[in-house]
């Protein structure tokens, strides 16, 4: 074994340990999926307040779209989410007690755990506020008051104190100006309107109440449109995906080797390099150069560029986070692709079936692969939620995209997730890794193994199963079409659909 191969083996072991620790650490973080479910519930609550004009004769709307028991459904979902967060918080706090202080040992896992605890505490407070408003609105003010009273700390959080005063008939009502400012700032969407409506009723301010109701009707109508669009997009795609899967599986049974799913199913790639080149590209190029490059670019290079250009930045804003993510991904991805190029250069010219791009077959396979992936990944995601109980972390881009509605940020997110990520990741995982693995294992095993590495590379333990499922569909699409453009298009469509849903859901809390 050459010195280069020994070094690559050592780097592989170290990278495996670091990735494993990152996955374990991600288990302490909440999933984005639970927040997405609640965001859709918030849309439904907002839309349920819309009252169509009598002359429209629209009996059943919006209840026919969002369900008649939207409030009870929301209460159940918020209770489940709150119980899950409480369990996670208690577990993390117990684990924290068994660890030495980070200021003494400087352990990075302690710092991450402290951050997870603070995040869980903030989410717990938000869920308690919202669940209480749901209960109070549902003629259960006693339950709401008990929930809010139990959640008050020594500092008596002002929003909680105001809500208690609003629904507790034994206490004097709060000052309208102060309470309105706090409620408007701390609450959003349906919860803000319910709290402000209660405030103006308690203060007997009919003018402000009428203006609030008019504003709420306008927002509710727009929200109902968003909900209909979101439901149609997801519902139609899901039905098309189920139909396509039935067709493909049926054709496979009927036509056998001539079916679309059987095309090229056992045809491996011809390559001249060995395991050391594979390790060099994936471990050094992707896991080391790419991830370290992202950290250095976002943490050091971009701040220096901003200062030299005299550009004022706000690190906490979604706009600057999105811009930083875009440029760090672009530069670190280019560096990783340079490693891929240098690793394969001794074997140029590559055989014709490597990194093949063809437009029109690629369009059909890419769109078809995306539609087929929807029911498969959604089904696995439902199972995955039950397994991890709301824990396991998520891609941080998803959270920023859900919270940020700035169009500069949205554009950067789309360029990163729908253009850069599909091109870069498909070149690495489907274009290089999957075909290279066919030298050692059958095509089906290469698809599964490359998909698992692809999923693990996202460093969130709760996303391994859904992303591995997506990776398998991407792998099947690529191996059957022998067209890398198909995998890139499918990947881009998937990320674009996810971002569109996040933007619609995030925009619902108006």
As a whole number, mean pLDDT of residues 89-110 equals 63
- Return the closest-CA partner of residue 421 out of 507, 499, 360, 306: 499
Q: pLDDT tens-digit profile of 478-490? A: 999 999 999 999 9
**Residue 496 contacts residue 414 (beta carbons within 8 Å):** yes
Q: pLDDT tens-digit profile of 28-72? A: 666 666 677 788 888 888 888 887 776 555 445 544 445 557 888
What average pLDDT is seen over the chain? 83
DSSP alpha helices (H): ranges in 27-137?
Answer: 32-48, 63-66, 70-97, 102-105, 108-137
Joined tokens for residue 138: 């549902």
Q: For the chain, how long is the longest CA-to-CA vector?
A: 84
Three-class secondary structure assignment of 75-95 = HHHHHHHHHHHHHHHHHHHHH
Give 178's pLDDT tier (boundaries 50, 70, 90): confident
- 389 versus 485: the higher-pLDDT residue is 485
Burial of residue 228 (CB within 10 Å: 0-12, 13-18, 19+) is: middle
DSSP alpha helices (H): ranges in 345-433?
Answer: 359-388, 396-403, 407-415, 421-425
**Residue 179 contacts residue 199 (beta carbons within 8 Å):** yes
**Residue 447 above 80 pLDDT?**
yes
As a whole number, mean pLDDT of residues 364-375 equals 94
Q: What is the DSSP letter of 31?
A: P
Q: What is the pLDDT of residue 102?
A: 47
Domain boundaries, the chain: 17-229, 263-506
- Return the closest-CA partner of residue 168 out of 198, 192, 193: 198
What CA–CA distance (Å, rounded) separates 423 from 412?
Answer: 15
Joined tokens for residue 73: 């459904």
Task: Provide the 10 A C-beta neighbour count for residue 45.
Answer: 26
What CA–CA distance (Å, rounded) separates 57 from 55?
Answer: 5
Beta-bridge partner residues of 30:
391
- Contacts of 490-495 spanning 24+ positions with Cβ under 8 A: 490/365, 490/366, 490/367, 490/369, 490/370, 490/373, 491/421, 491/422, 491/425, 491/426, 492/418, 492/419, 492/422, 493/366, 493/367, 493/370, 494/370, 494/373, 494/470, 495/417, 495/418, 495/421, 495/422
Q: What is the DSSP letter of 193?
A: H
**Residue 347 contacts residue 273 (beta carbons within 8 Å):** yes
What CA–CA distance (Å, rounded) separates 96 from 107?
Answer: 12
**Residue 53 contacts residue 486 (beta carbons within 8 Å):** no
Beta-bridge partner residues of 391:
30
Q: What is the DSSP letter of 440?
A: T
Q: pLDDT tens-digit profile of 244-301? A: 999 999 999 998 888 888 888 888 998 889 999 999 999 999 989 888 888 888 777 7
As a whole number, mean pLDDT of residues 187-198 equals 90
**Residue 344 contacts residue 471 (beta carbons within 8 Å):** no
Joined tokens for residue 264: 């090229």
What CA–CA distance (Å, rounded) separates 303 from 315?
Answer: 10
**Residue 345 above 50 pLDDT?**
yes
What CA–CA distance (Å, rounded) separates 317 from 324?
Answer: 11
Q: Is the pTM of this model over 0.85?
A: no
- 468 versus 386: the higher-pLDDT residue is 468
What CA–CA distance (Å, rounded) separates 102 from 121?
Answer: 20
Q: pLDDT tens-digit profile of 141-174? A: 899 999 988 876 544 478 888 999 899 888 787 7
* Alpha carbon 329 to chain centroid, angstroms: 17
């Amino acid at each position: 074994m050459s010195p280069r191969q020994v070094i690559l083996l050592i780097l592989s072991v170290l990278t495996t340990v670091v990735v494993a620790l990152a996955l374990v650490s991600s288990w302490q973080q909440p999933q984005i999926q639970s927040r997405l479910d609640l965001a859709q519930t918030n849309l439904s609550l907002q839309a349920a307040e819309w009252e169509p004009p009598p002359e429209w004769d629209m009996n059943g709307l919006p209840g026919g779209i969002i369900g008649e028991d939207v409030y009870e459904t929301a209460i159940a979902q918020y209770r489940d989410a709150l119980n899950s967060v409480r369990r996670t918080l208690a577990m993390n706090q117990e684990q924290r007690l068994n660890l030495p202080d980070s200021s003494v040992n400087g352990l990075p896992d302690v710092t991450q755990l402290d951050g997870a605890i603070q995040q869980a505490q903030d989410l717990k407070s938000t869920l308690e506020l919202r669940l209480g408003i749901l209960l109070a609105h549902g003629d259960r003010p006693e339950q709401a008051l008990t929930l809010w009273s139990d959640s008050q700390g020594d500092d008596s959080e002002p929003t909680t104190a105001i809500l208690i005063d609003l629904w507790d008939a034994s206490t004097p009502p709060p000052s309208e100006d102060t309470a309105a400012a706090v409620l408007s700032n701390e609450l959003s969407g349906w919860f803000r309107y319910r709290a402000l409506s209660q405030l103006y009723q308690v203060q007997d301010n009919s003018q402000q109440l009428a203006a609030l109701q008019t504003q709420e009707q306008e927002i509710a109508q727009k929200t109902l449109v968003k909900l209909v669009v979101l439901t149609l997009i997801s519902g139609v795609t899901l039905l098309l995906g189920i139909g396509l899967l039935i067709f493909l599986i049926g054709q496979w049974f009927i036509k056998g080797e001539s079916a679309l799913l059987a095309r090229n199913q056992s045809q491996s790639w011809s390559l001249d390099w060995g395991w050391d080149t594979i390790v060099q590209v994936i471990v050094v190029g992707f896991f080391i150069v790419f991830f370290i490059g992202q950290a250095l670019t976002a943490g050091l290079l971009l701040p220096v560029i901003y200062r030299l250009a005299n550009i004022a930045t706000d690190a906490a804003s979604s706009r600057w986070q999105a811009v930083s993510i875009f440029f760090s991904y672009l530069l670190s991805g280019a560096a990783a692709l340079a490693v891929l190029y240098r690793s394969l250069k001794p074997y140029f010219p590559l055989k014709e079936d490597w990194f093949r791009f063809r437009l029109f077959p690629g369009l059909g396979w890419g769109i078809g692969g995306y539609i087929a992936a929807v029911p498969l990944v959604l089904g696995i995601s439902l199972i995955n939620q039950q397994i991890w109980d709301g824990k396991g972390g998520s891609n941080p881009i998803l959270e920023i995209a859900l919270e940020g509605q700035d169009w500069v940020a949205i554009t950067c997110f789309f360029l990163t997730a729908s253009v850069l990520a599909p091109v870069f990741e498909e070149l690495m995982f489907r274009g290089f890794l999957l075909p290279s693995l066919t030298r050692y294992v059958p095509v089906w095993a290469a698809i599964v193994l490359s998909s698992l590495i692809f999923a693990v590379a996202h460093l969130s333990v709760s996303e391994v199963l859904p992303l591995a499922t997506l990776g398998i569909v991407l792998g099947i699409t690529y191996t059957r079409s022998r067209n890398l453009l198909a995998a890139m298009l499918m990947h881009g469509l998937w990320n674009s659909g996810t971002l569109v849903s996040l933007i619609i859901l995030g925009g619902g809390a108006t």
